[in-house]
Structure 1
């Protein structure tokens, strides 16, 4: 499905309910598989969460998680601990290009039996589940926090828990803390000091434990961008959010003050309001703890004709696509000048935005959604727009509710 977004104006006031966090949902689904007494409310309706649920409930010996990267990492660890169960874990062609060797080697340090069925270091994986008795493991810390969280989630079920040493600079610390917080809420004892994380063994839940998933902050980022590109006084209320969020992308509330957007918290909702124009000509950010919002921020800055310098983006090269290259390519079609390295992006101030440009999405949900707010400046087309179902299936319907004119082409 390709769509055209006509040049639009947002309604002055709008309300949108956003589905549960994909990150929290997938962590809780894995914990629920390990501890069936867990119940979960406000589960994400994203493709990734549905694929995770399907894989966990399926009795098939081949588990195909398509394009769900979090599920690939978490399920690799999960099935490595399923004593006597042998499965093959595979995914889409892009998934088979995304590295997983660091996680596999860490699990092998614990005694796991995992082989590559095609290219070494990449899915598909043949996993022969067994009881893992070792508890000491070292892992490179600067690639993906999902590798770390995968180990932490299975740790309570291991006989001796886990002592995890992180080698190097740690990436996306908020996502690690999210995992540890959910374990703590379950009753698991954890400790995170310096570069060492310990998780104690935890036998079983004695009673039902209910978790309610907070709505997804990554999904909220596109509404922050829309408000930033709107006229002063425009506001959107989003539910359900909390001030003390476990999600790293909640830093949006602070970051978008640079673009003139203020966030107020009330009754499990946030209201975003454009209160002023941006006062800085260059936005400088280190996004090592929240790299998933880089695309949205880059497009916001471009739409406001600001320059933007972002570092800490090294994990973007191993996402659904190489997001740094994709951003540079699509922004330059619109008239931008962009410099990238392996971990940074520098957007130069634009003087013009080209109209009716067709944005390629590279099978990446965030490419589709990040560029949509530019429809407040110029008409724009989004190719293969249904890719948003990976994390936010209701996206196109929701932005129509607030004033964006969307037509299929």
Structure 2
């Protein structure tokens, strides 16, 4: 489905939006609840990714298709490897078969797993025969996607001897590692993270407990962008959020002060307030710990006509699409002066914004949502708009609540 998107007539925006639970926290919590049935999950994400993860965890034999869900691919690889008696083919979309997984497979096989490649070595589909993993020491490069690391950490307490994981080199995506460890601690599992070594103690069972999933800060980023591009006096309230968040993307509240947006915390909610219409003239951000908000920030800068230099983006090359090249293509279509490398994005200042441009989304939910706020400055067409269901199925409905004009073509 493609849509034509235009902004509201009144660009002083005021409303309250409830955002679904974080898919990152949801998928971690779902795996833990499969390992420890006494866990109850509250505010579970209604995203495609969480539904695919939940469905995958219910299977033990046959083909498990996780479609575009990269988190599910990494987490289920670890889960099935350690699930005695399982025998599955773990596969996904065409793009998923192009996303590397060799580092995780090698680590699991080193622990004693039985994982082989159905087609090309290093890439899904995977044949996984679950067995007891008795070894408890393994190492991984420290600069890889945190999902590889979290896949090992999540199954670690169910292993007979726990796990000692050494990260070799400079660690990236620390907040996502801490999110995983924080959830393990929340259900009573002992962990330590000293230097480059992570220890997880074994635990056969946990006491019945409720894990409350915080709403997704990545999803909140699009409303930060909307407020930044709106008029002074706009105030959008989002729930349910915590001041001390496990999510790395909560750094939004600091970054967006440069765009004139202030964050006020209430009880389980945040209010985004457009306090100033004089943003910084240039934004320089290292997003190594929060790469998922790079698209939002780049589009916000373009919408405001200011430049930016974003670094720490090396993991964006292997996401749902090559997000750096996708941003380069789509922002260029809109009139941007942009250049990218394999780990950086640089945007020049610009007063040009082309109208009624069709934005391609590349099977990537974040491309659709990151570009949507530009409707406050120019009308757009969003191709394959329902790709947003991967993480935020209600996104277009929530924009309509803010009086955006969403018309199916």
TM-score band, normalised by the shorter chain?
over 0.9
Tell me, yes or no, if the aligned pair for 2:47 and 2:393 is still in contact at 8 Å.
yes
Partner Cα distance (1:60, 1:374) in 2: 46
Unaligned runs of 5+ in 2: none
The more displaced of 11-20 and 319-328 is 11-20
Corresponding pairs, count: 408
Which residue of 1 is the match for residue 349 of structure 2?
A: 349
Tell me, yes or no, if the aligned pair for 1:11 and 1:402 is still in contact at 8 Å.
no
Partner Cα distance (1:29, 1:87) in 2: 19
Which residue of 1 is the match for residue 311 of structure 2?
A: 311
What does 1:41-120 correspond to in 2, within 5 Å? 41-120=42-121
Which residue of 2 is the match for residue 336 of structure 1?
A: 336
Tell me, yes or no, if the aligned pair for 2:12 and 2:232 is still in contact at 8 Å.
no
Which residue of 1 is the match for residue 4 of structure 2?
A: 4
Does the residue aligned with 1:132 lie in a helix, a strand or coil? coil
Tell me, yes or no, if the aligned pair for 1:158 and 1:201 is still in contact at 8 Å.
yes
Which residue of 1 is the match for residue 32 of structure 2?
A: 31
Tell me, yes or no, if the aligned pair for 2:61 and 2:86 is still in contact at 8 Å.
no
Does the residue aligned with 1:26 lie in a helix, a strand or coil? helix
Partner Cα distance (1:259, 1:132) in 2: 50
Does the residue aligned with 1:126 lie in a helix, a strand or coil? strand
Deviation, 1:221, is 0.3
Which residue of 2 is the match for residue 20 of structure 1?
A: 21
Which residue of 1 is the match for residue 259 of structure 2?
A: 259
What does 1:267-282 correspond to in 2, within 5 Å? 267-282=267-282
Cα distance change of structure 1 residues 279 and 13 upon mapping to structure 2, 3 Å threshold: closer
Tell me, yes or no, if the aligned pair for 1:142 and 1:168 is still in contact at 8 Å.
yes
Deviation, 1:48, is 0.1
Tell me, yes or no, if the aligned pair for 1:10 and 1:404 is still in contact at 8 Å.
no
Partner Cα distance (1:218, 1:118) in 2: 34
Tell me, yes or no, if the aligned pair for 1:112 and 1:132 is still in contact at 8 Å.
yes
Deviation, 1:75, is 0.3
Does the residue aligned with 1:123 lie in a helix, a strand or coil? coil
Tell me, yes or no, if the aligned pair for 2:12 and 2:233 is still in contact at 8 Å.
no
What does 1:117-132 correspond to in 2, within 5 Å? 117-132=118-133
Tell me, yes or no, if the aligned pair for 1:10 and 1:403 is still in contact at 8 Å.
no
Deviation, 1:397, is 0.3
Deviation, 1:11, is 5.1
Cα distance change of structure 1 residues 11 and 45 upon mapping to structure 2, 3 Å threshold: farther
Partner Cα distance (1:213, 1:332) in 2: 37
Partner Cα distance (1:398, 1:362) in 2: 22
Which residue of 2 is the match for residue 135 of structure 1?
A: 136
Which residue of 2 is the match for residue 290 of structure 1?
A: 290
Does the residue aligned with 1:74 lie in a helix, a strand or coil? helix
Which residue of 2 is the match for residue 379 of structure 1?
A: 379
Tell me, yes or no, if the aligned pair for 1:166 and 1:196 is still in contact at 8 Å.
yes
Tell me, yes or no, if the aligned pair for 1:287 and 1:310 is still in contact at 8 Å.
yes
Deviation, 1:182, is 0.4
Does the residue aligned with 1:214 lie in a helix, a strand or coil? coil
Which residue of 2 is the match for residue 209 of structure 1?
A: 209
Which residue of 1 is the match for residue 165 of structure 2?
A: 164
Partner Cα distance (2:51, 2:317) in 1: 25
Deviation, 1:267, is 1.2
Deviation, 1:59, is 4.9
Cα distance change of structure 1 residues 184 and 200 upon mapping to structure 2, 3 Å threshold: same
Partner Cα distance (1:182, 1:83) in 2: 24
Is 1:233 equivalent to 2:233 in the alignment? yes
Tell me, yes or no, if the aligned pair for 1:48 and 1:71 is still in contact at 8 Å.
yes
- 1:125-181 deviation digits (Å, cap 9, x = unpaired): 000111000001000121200000000000001111111000122111000000000
Tell me, yes or no, if the aligned pair for 1:298 and 1:308 is still in contact at 8 Å.
yes
Deviation, 1:400, is 0.7
Deviation, 1:60, is 4.4
Tell me, yes or no, if the aligned pair for 1:10 and 1:402 is still in contact at 8 Å.
no
Which residue of 2 is the match for residue 325 of structure 1?
A: 325
Does the residue aligned with 2:407 lie in a helix, a strand or coil? strand
Does the residue aligned with 1:61 lie in a helix, a strand or coil? strand
Cα distance change of structure 1 residues 42 and 304 upon mapping to structure 2, 3 Å threshold: same
